[in-house]
């Protein structure tokens, strides 16, 4: 088997994955869903773009404008556009001056597609949903594992104010045990999101004090631990915005997010780039069976 590798492209944070890397992603995907089994989450396929107006309403654009990738389209039909651009270029004007912003943006986290699915509903019992998406964040650094395009598997819980934090705690414990079973040394830390501008002043301190965001961190071989998974408790923030109710109360929500490429990089850092030489217990957990050499 080939060494698992993330092959850089000409732009930072955007890599091509070879088949060996992707085989580990496949193993992780079934393994995560395996340990989600008792709850039987409803599974969805979600697209890599999402409504710009929705993220504006949710406050994402104010909190993380530096991370959001917007999409632009060229105005006009192709032949007319080429003629206009040719004239512009001849004048020395920027080639992209004829663009307009689209009504979709690059999806920054998988779970934003899931809360709207139960908008305006009163839930008779807690709901668990899962999806995986290609996410985009306009990251500034090219550190290993700090990708701009990466996949995030998320499990979302929507329920009452007692149920949801208990679910979050259980997920943190389960995820830690799962990572340790894969031979990874993880630290579990209270964290804050990288809020921008005023949001950093207003949102980060309560997020830390109330322990709303937890990260499971591992060294990807850079000497600095990075989050390979996180659990976020949003209290009634999304329940309120989407009009979701449980038993007469505004629903609470939490999500558990797994960064698939980062987990593979953490595995490579510990066990090497040749998955066929990984310990049998790790191969077993990923559904690889015996060594194939």
Which spans of this chain sit near ligand AMP (rule: CB under 6 A)? 109, 137, 139, 145-147, 150, 152, 215, 227-230, 257, 259, 261-262
19-35 and 163-181 helices cross at what angle (nearest 10)?
A: 140
Which residue intervals of 112-236 are DSSP H helices? Answer: 163-181, 197-209
255 forms part of the interface with Zn ion (CB under 5 A): yes
Q: With CB under 5 A as the contact rule, which of the stretches 36-44, 80-88, 109-117, 279-287 interacts with Zn ion?
A: 109-117
CB 6 within 8 A of CB 249: no
Shortest reach from residue 275's CB to Zn ion, in Å = 28
| Cβ nearer to ligand AMP, comparing 58 with 246 | 58
Tokens in use for 129?
A: 């949903």
Report the DSSP pairing between strands 49-51 and 187-191: unpaired
67 forms part of the interface with Zn ion (CB under 5 A): no
Say how far apart CA 129 and CA 43 lie, in whole Å. 6
| Of residues 273-292, those binding Zn ion (CB under 5 A) | none
Q: Enumerate residues 6+ apart whose C-beta is below 8 A from 193.
A: 63, 64, 203, 204, 207, 213
- The contact pattern for Zn ion, residues 170-209, with x = CB under 5 A and - = no contact, is ----------------------------------------
Shortest reach from residue 34's CB to ligand AMP, in Å = 19
Query: With CB cut-offs between 5 and 8 Å by kind, which of Zn ion, ligand AMP, none does residue 255 bind?
Result: Zn ion
Shortest reach from residue 70's CB to ligand AMP, in Å = 17
Q: Tokens 């004829």 belong to which residue?
A: 98
Strand partners, 100: 73
Interface contacts to Zn ion, rule CB under 5 A: 109, 111, 255, 257
């Amino acid at each position: 088997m080939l060494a698992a590798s993330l092959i850089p492209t000409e732009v930072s944070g955007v890599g091509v994955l070879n088949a060996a890397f992707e085989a580990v992603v496949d193993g992780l995907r079934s393994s995560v869903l395996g340990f989600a089994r008792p709850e039987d989450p409803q599974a969805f396929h979600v697209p890599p773009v999402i409504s710009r107006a929705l993220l504006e309403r949710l406050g994402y654009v104010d909190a993380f404008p530096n991370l959001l990738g917007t999409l632009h389209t060229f105005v006009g039909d192709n032949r007319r556009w080429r003629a206009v651009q040719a004239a512009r270029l001849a004048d020395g004007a920027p080639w992209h001056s004829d663009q307009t912003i689209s009504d979709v943006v690059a999806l920054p986290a998988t779970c934003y597609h899931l809360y709207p699915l139960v908008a305006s509903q009163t839930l008779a019992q807690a709901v668990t949903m899962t999806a995986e998406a290609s996410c985009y964040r306009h990251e500034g650094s090219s550190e290993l594992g700090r990708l701009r395009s990466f996949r995030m598997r998320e499990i979302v819980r929507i329920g009452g104010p007692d149920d949801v934090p208990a679910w979050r705690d259980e997920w943190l414990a389960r995820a830690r045990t799962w990572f340790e079973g894969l031979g990874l040394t993880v630290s579990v830390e209270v964290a804050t999101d990288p809020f921008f501008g005023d949001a950093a002043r207003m949102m980060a301190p309560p997020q830390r004090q109330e322990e709303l965001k937890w990260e499971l961190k591992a060294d990807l071989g850079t000497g600095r631990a990075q989050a390979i998974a996180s659990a976020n408790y949003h209290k009634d923030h999304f329940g309120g915005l989407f009009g979701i109710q449980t038993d007469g109360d505004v629903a609470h929500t939490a999500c558990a997010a797994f960064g698939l490429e980062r987990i593979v990089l953490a595995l490579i850092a510990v066990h090497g780039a040749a998955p066929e030489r990984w310990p049998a217990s790790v191969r077993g957990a990923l559904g690889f069976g015996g060594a194939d050499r």
